[in-house]
Amino acid sequence: MAGILGHKVGMTQIFDNDGLAVPVTVVQAGPCYVTQVKTEETDGYASVQLAFHEIKEKNVTKPRKGHFAKAGVEPKRYLAEFDFSDVSDVKVGDEIKADIFAEGSKVYVSGISKGKGFQGTVKRHNFGGGPKSHGQSDRLRAPGSLGQSSWPSRVFKGLKMAGRMGGDRKTLKNVQVVRVDVENNLIFLRGAVPGAKNTLLEIKK
């Protein structure tokens, strides 16, 4: 499953061949550089390690500097492994660009969702809230009963309650690639993807 790292640029809309407006997310995908190729013989599994996004050299640790120097690649901010189907065609130092994806293909997109902070059950779990009549004034967005009185006299684990919302790793499956701008390494994905602007995304075939 080949893939690439990228930054979420933002959302816009483009027009397809039928003149219909299609909402898309623009992703700055790459260029990424191969810093390590793992094989069944050396590591027990096959994968390709990619590096992405510029970083100041003073912010790179010594072990990572040695790792990048061995690969002959300038230090980068992010490292991630991808399960390429055939690693024999990939070499250390190779440049991976957005042209590995084709228009109309489907991809998996992973990223960290927007953090919403501490939220109640109505927003966090889509609770319906209490009745709006019968003299009730301060329980409109309350969660309702959380447990039992006589037995078991406790709150069950895993009950949906208020708490921190967002900031989780999410993966969207079968996202359509609407357009690929090879010159600028831009990928246009149909619809919304996890995260705010500049969020790091993993895009896999």
How far is Cα 116 from Cα 167, in angstroms, rounded to an integer? 8
Judging by DSSP bridges, how do beta strands 200-204 and 32-38 pair with one another?
Answer: unpaired
List of residues 6+ apart from 35 with CB closer than 8 A: 49, 50, 51, 67, 68, 71, 73, 76, 79, 92
Share of the chain above pLDDT 70, in %: 99
* pLDDT tens, position by position, 50-68: 999 988 888 989 999 898 8
Domains in the chain: ranges and CATH: 3-114+168-204 (2.40.30.10), 115-166 (no CATH)
Whole-prediction pTM: 0.81
User: If we measure between CA atoms, which residue out of 21, 59, 74, 25 comes closest to residue 172?
Assistant: 25
Share of the chain above pLDDT 90, in %: 45
pLDDT at residue 151, rounded to an integer: 85
Q: 4 to each of 39, 83, 90, how far by Cα in Å?
A: 19, 11, 14
Q: Over 60: is that where the pLDDT of 1 sits?
A: no
Average pLDDT along the chain: 89
